[in-house]
Amino acid sequence: MLSELLLTEIAALSQSSKLPLHRQLYEALRRTILNGKLQAGERLPSSRELMHDLNLSRNTVVAALNQLAVEGYLISRVGSGTYVNQNVPQVIQPRGRPVSMQPEKLSHRGQALSNTFCAVDLEVQPFTPGIADFSAFPVALWQRLQNKHWRMTYPDMLDYSSAGGYGPLRRAITDYLRVFRSVPVDIEQVIVTSGTQESLGLCAQLLADPNDTVWLEDPAYWGAVKAFMATGLRLHGIPVDKQGMVPRPQDNTTQPKLIYVTPSHQYPTGAVMSLERRHQLLSLARQHKAWVLEDDYDSEFRFSGPPISSLAGLDTHSQVLYMGSFSKVLYPGLKLGYLVVPKNLAAAFKRAHYDLNRPGQMPVQAALAEFIDMGHFASALRRARQSYGQRRQCLLNALQPCLGENARITGAEQGLHLCMRLPDHFDDKALALQLRQTGLVVRPLSAYCLSRQDLRGLVIGYGYAPLAEIEHFGPRLAQALAKSLQ
């Protein structure tokens, strides 16, 4: 009998939730329809009958029936009664098995995204690559600036931003890139994003279609791999040597729509792309009519040799999109970065950015703009360069005893990590696991490779570890490495 079924369902719901009575009856009826106990086209008892059978008020019963009718589960026929809609799909429950309302597994793309190039194990410990020291960030000053802009906030500062970001922050970014990175940029070309990941995703969505090909460095930055996988692009790895990405003749048979590079400090090998290689890459991009995505990773931290112009600074055909973030100099949780696009793309990118991401955080952007204008960003950058330079030299000194024929350092001129290259036959994954068990977190170089089988090594960060910890753990790391390389 329907009333008995409904009473059983309502009793179960009342024990597991605090829903009001009309929602409990609604849910009980909905489940009874979906599991087939109330068939399509079957007539329901009248509201008065349900009221008496279930011992509920008429308002409670009518509210539940009306909601089910609005959602299409029930239909009323004048003078005839209320019936289960013929178009409601039913969930058939196999005997002995509970009904699952969820798909059995992730999509193929979901499985790949959750299982490939995962970074969840990059703990904040000495020598973890890709981590910066944000413990020295001037928190009190930052709080004062944020509080000031919250007090002054106008209503439009609490809304989304359709202009590409807070105007004074975009102006500050424009001035910084013109002076320090030689990027010829106007304020209208600058879009404030939540960081490099969002910038990459936006470029992939607007400049390429699913199954288009993106060239990227091999070994690769895991974040870029994830961004391109998420947008359905085909990944084509291009080997990296000591001068950066080096396309081979066979690569030209795979037409790229996008070319992603980290020329300032390739992650993870640490290679700095030579000026000659930069011009070659731009020429090759023109031949393929491809967009170049320049991630100016670690460009702020160059410790030896003259700075090299950005690709965007060398671009004469408006084919480079340039991106960076404030995570390394300030702190990762700030989640603010920037994307510079060619002038003819600026309006379209701003519209799409607004529609896809609903950008906001305007008071935070205002605080950052003032932080930069008052010179605090430049001061923080100078302090960071000095501090990281000391840590870098300390780590190089500590590792010196284990260097030799079987181990050499690359990528030491710039950035916040070193790459120790090992013999091609060496099991760097086993070595990294062995070191991890002793509390030394490094990453195997081969874990970053897309298709290459000829790279072995360790990626060793020094951005987070204080100088005292490098002095303590550096010799321990060198000793463990020397023992493994014997």
Mapped to the 3 state alphabet, what secondary structure does 78-119 carry? CCCEEEECCCCCCCCCCCCCCCCCCCCCCCHHHHHHHHCCCC
472 Cβ contact list (under 8 Å, min separation 6): none
Residues of the chain with CATH 1.10.10.10: 2-84
3-state secondary structure of 329: coil
Q: Kind of pairing, strands 190-193 and 337-340?
A: antiparallel
pLDDT score, position 120? 52
Q: Say what the pLDDT of residue 125 is.
A: 45
Name residue 199's amino acid: S
pLDDT recorded at residue 358: 87
pLDDT at 122: 37
Q: What is the pLDDT at residue 58? A: 87
Phi, psi of 236 (to 5 degrees): -125, 110
pLDDT value of residue 126: 47
First to last CA, the chain: 80
CATH code for residues 154-376: 3.40.640.10
The predicted pLDDT at position 116 comes to 74
Which residue ranges does the chain devote to CATH 3.90.1150.10?
A: 379-484
State both tokens at 342.
């060619």
Q: What is the reported pLDDT for 127?
A: 66
Q: Which CA distances in Å does 71 have to 19, 67, 68?
A: 19, 6, 5
Is residue 468 a contact partner of residue 394, using CB atoms and an 8 Å limit?
A: no
* Model pLDDT, residue 302: 83
DSSP classification of residue 125: S
Which residues contact residue 392 at a Cβ distance below 8 angstroms, ignoring those fewer than 6 apart?
303, 412, 418, 462
pLDDT at 339: 97
Whose tokens are 């919250």? That residue is 150
Tokens read off for 425: 């036959």
The answer for residues whose C-beta is within 8 angstroms of residue 193's C-beta and 6 or more apart is 199, 202, 323, 336, 337, 338, 339, 353, 357, 359
> What gap in Å lies between CA 75 and CA 259, rounded to an integer?
56
Q: How far apart are CA 403 and CA 335, in angstroms?
A: 38
Three-state SS at 124: coil
Determine the residue type at 57. Answer: S
User: 400 CB contacts (<8 Å, ≥6 apart)?
Assistant: 478
Q: For every one of its 486 residues, what pLDDT tens digit does the chain have, with 9 covering 90 and above?
A: 787 888 888 877 776 667 788 888 888 888 888 888 888 888 888 888 888 888 888 888 988 888 888 888 888 887 788 988 887 766 555 444 554 555 667 887 888 787 776 665 433 344 655 555 566 678 888 888 888 888 876 777 777 777 899 999 999 999 999 988 889 999 999 999 999 999 999 999 999 999 999 999 999 998 899 999 999 999 999 999 999 999 999 999 999 999 999 999 898 999 999 999 999 999 999 999 999 999 998 888 888 776 677 899 999 999 999 999 988 888 778 889 999 999 999 999 999 999 998 888 888 999 999 999 999 999 988 888 888 889 999 999 999 999 988 899 988 888 888 899 998 888 999 998 888 888 788 889 999 999 998 899 999 988 877 788 888 889 999 998 988 887
DSSP 223-280: HHHHHHHHTTPEEEEEEEETTEE---GGGGGS--SEEEE-TTS-TTT-----HHHHHH
Write the CATH number of the domain with boundaries 379-484.
Answer: 3.90.1150.10
Tell me how far the alpha carbon of residue 276 is from its chain's centroid: 32
Helix, strand, coil: what percent of the chain each, to 5? 45, 15, 40
Q: Which two tokens stand for residue 414?
A: 């710039």
- For 361: left if phi > 0, alpha if psi spans -120 to 50, otherwise beta; the answer is left
Determine phi and psi for 433, rounding to 5 degrees. Answer: -65, -40
Residues in CB range of 295: below 8 A, 6 or more apart? 196, 200, 221, 224, 260, 261, 262, 323, 324
Q: Where, residue-wise, is CATH 3.40.640.10 in the chain?
A: 154-376
Q: How far apart are CA 28 and CA 16, in angstroms?
A: 13
Can you tell me the distance from the alpha carbon of 399 to that of 477, in angstroms, rounded to the nearest whole number? 8
> What pLDDT shows up at residue 241?
94
Residue entry with tokens 């509080």: 147
The residues near 480 (Cβ < 8 Å, ≥ 6 apart) are 434, 435, 438, 440
Residue 180, token pair as written in the block: 């320090």
Q: What is the CATH number of domain 2-84?
A: 1.10.10.10
- Residue 256 pLDDT: 97
Report pLDDT for 102. 59
